[in-house]
Every structure is written in C-alpha cells, then in structure tokens.
C-alpha cells in the first residue's frame, strides 16, 4: 500500500486523488512511497490526515449519491483534526492567537 492509498483509506470521504496528493506534497510526503508503521506514526502523516479532516469539515455542503455531511459530523471531524493539531503542536482550526508584548530593554 502506498502513502496516498493509506491517506485515502483513513479519510474515507470521496475526494479526488489530486486533493490527497496536494495535501501530501504540502506536508512533504511522497504519495508513491511504501506506507509503513513509521510513516503511520509520523507527525507529517498525522498532520496530513488532520488537514483532510479539516478540509472536509470546513468545505461546502456536498451531497454525492447517498453521502452528505451533517453539521454534527462536521463538528466531530473538526474536533478530530484539532486534536491531532494540538498533539503535533500546531495551531488548531478556529483558535485565535493572543497578542503579546515583549519588552526588549528598559526605558
């Protein structure tokens, strides 16, 4: 199984292969590489998975065949993505950055 196939299998939403390939490139992963336990546990692959969940959760309402994504499901996907982002020390979706002041030298 390739990294691309593994990501598609984990996300399970009917998204185009080009979407997954873009996410993998943005996370510096190669879709044609062999999927291994090391890659599965890697920060890059976990963040790619979170990016896919975020895209599905924040995308437009789409119904394809009998598949549609409800608001509670969107909330669950976003919570799952944010959990991964926090574990990997990345900014969760929807979080606001608090401004801060740092004094460089005394007056």
* 21: pLDDT strictly greater than 90: yes
Q: What's the pLDDT band for 22 if we cut at 50, 70, 90?
A: very high
For the chain, percent of residues with pLDDT exceeding 70: 77
Calculate the average pLDDT of the chain. 83
pLDDT tens digits for range 56-101: 888 766 555 656 666 677 788 889 999 999 999 998 887 554 555 5
- Residues whose CB falls within 8 Å of the CB of residue 45, separated by 6 or more in sequence, listed in order: 3, 6, 7, 27, 29, 39
Enumerate the domain spans of the chain.
3-87
CA 89 to chain centre: 13
What pTM did the predictor assign? 0.76
Two tokens, residue 99? 């401004």
C-alpha to C-alpha distance for 48 and 41, rounded to whole angstroms = 12
């Amino acid at each position: 199984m390739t990294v691309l196939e593994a990501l598609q299998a984990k996300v399970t939403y009917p998204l185009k292969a080009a979407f997954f390939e873009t996410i993998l490139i943005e996370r510096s992963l190669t879709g044609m590489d062999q999927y291994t336990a090391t890659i599965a546990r890697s920060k890059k692959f976990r963040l790619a998975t979170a990016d896919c969940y975020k895209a599905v959760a924040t995308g437009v309402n789409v119904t394809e065949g009998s598949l549609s994504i409800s608001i509670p499901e969107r909330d669950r996907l976003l919570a799952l993505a944010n959990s991964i982002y926090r574990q990997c020390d990345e900014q969760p979706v929807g979080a606001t950055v608090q401004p801060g002041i740092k004094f460089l030298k005394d007056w």
